[in-house]
Amino acid sequence: MRCRAVFRVSQSRNRAPLLLQPQASRLYSQLQSKHERSTFGIAFDIDGVVLRGRVPIGGSPQALRRLYGESGALKVPFIFLTNGGGIPESRRAIELSDLLGVYILPSQVVQGHSSFKTLLKRYENELTIATGKGEPDLVMSEYGFKKVLSLDEYASYFENIDPVSQYKMWTTKWESSKCSCPKNLVPSFNITSDRVKAAFVVSDPVDWGRDIQVLCDILSSGGLPGDENGQQPPLYFAADDLEYQAAFPSERLGMGAFRIALESVFNRIHCNALDCVIFGKPNPFVFKNAEAILRQLRSSCDDNYINNGNNGSHPFKTLYMIGDNPLVDIKGAKQAGHPWFSILTRTGVFRGKDNHAEFPADLVVDTVEEAVDYILKKESAC
């Protein structure tokens, strides 16, 4: 296989009442005084640790509440570090705040596709396509990509590109919005002559058959379905999870499974092997980036304190990664090394009695609540 992971560094339906919805600056101006500034931070995986589908698990709302003071101010810098996605970080933050009953900032949400921002310079004004559940094109256009289309929309401009579409009993979001918004029918550029310069798998694809067909068309033709063979445009995956924990009792096939399916088909119909770049955990880049975000989160508080001496730039002693997937969360934290400390929960992909054999975590617990309890006890004893 020629797919590779990247190693680059850059940077309401309330179930529980929101604790507070203060201005971000006020929230962080209250984040610990100079003397009690946090020397540790936490990265929470979402699926299988904090949520199953849309349901909080493992005592996650109570656990998260312990990271805030009585006034609602954040006491411990933490982020969500998920390979999932499909909606912009700002929207995910609102959704998580609603589900978990604490105030979450967009900057506290790092999704698999968040790293696609690092590709903006290269593709800002190029025709690109994005696929996956949710609103992949909206995600990319919020990052600044100006000529991005969802695969749903792109496919709709090529008659008969999906030979089994008439047997499909569903309507895509694109088709419904087309009816209510006729002015937006055709993009301002020429879809039938412009070549696609890159394809992005932003989140778990919905219609695997159609997506495999259209991606094979784009990738084997050099970016223009129906054209002769051409050089494969770059293909980017937000993550490569083979399986993940959703609402169903056993694991579900993830983006990694889709990648294998696409690759197997492409390599059978095309002379050159599929080339792709994979982002997301366990890539060490993601953990470096998470560390930088956690530092920023802490220093936006420190900025509000004059003469604090270190301006929040001192390194963390420990960063905790709480995850449910040994091959993704634990492997990633271990590869990232100091200051990462990995905690494996039994609420998702991993259900073992003991530690995982290949990627043993630094600590195995039943739930995220237990993990947070361990961290707070350990840190207060330091």
Q: What residues line the site for ligand G3P (CB under 6 A)?
A: 45-48, 82-84, 204, 239, 241, 244, 254-255, 325
Q: Smallest gap, in angstroms, from Cβ of residue 45 to ligand G3P?
A: 5
Question: For Mg ion, which residue of 324, 330, 331, 345 counts as binding (CB under 5 A)?
Answer: 324
Size of the site for Mg ion (CB under 5 A): 5
Measured from the CB atom, the residue of 94 and 191 that comes closer to ligand G3P is 94
Determine the distance from the C-alpha atom of residue 143 to the mean position of all C-alpha atoms in its chain, rounded to a whole number. Answer: 14
Measured from the CB atom, the residue of 59 and 348 that comes closer to ligand G3P is 348
Residues numbered 26 to 55 that lie near Mg ion (CB under 5 A) are 45, 47-48
- If one asks whether residue 243 binds Mg ion (CB under 5 A), the answer comes out as no
Measured from the CB atom, the residue of 156 and 347 that comes closer to ligand G3P is 347
Select from 315, 314, 312 the least CA-distant residue to 340. Answer: 315
Q: How far is 295 from 192, CA to CA, in rounded Å?
A: 46
* Phi–psi pair at 178, nearest 5 degrees: -60, -40
Measured from the CB atom, the residue of 241 and 263 that comes closer to ligand G3P is 241
User: What is the three-class DSSP state of 367?
Assistant: coil
Q: Are β-strands 243-244 and 252-253 bridged in parallel, bridged antiparallel, or unpaired?
A: antiparallel
Q: Smallest gap, in angstroms, from Cβ of residue 363 to ligand G3P?
A: 18
Select from 59, 55, 76 the least CA-distant residue to 67. Answer: 76
82 binds, among Mg ion, ligand G3P, none (CB under 5 to 8 A by kind): ligand G3P
Measured from the CB atom, the residue of 53 and 209 that comes closer to ligand G3P is 53
Q: Smallest gap, in angstroms, from Cβ of residue 351 to ligand G3P?
A: 15
CB 63 within 8 A of CB 49: no
Select from 42, 21, 178 the least CA-distant residue to 104. Answer: 21
Q: How far is 344 from 382, CA to CA, in rounded Å?
A: 22
Task: Give contact residues for Mg ion (rule: CB under 5 A).
Answer: 45, 47-48, 324-325
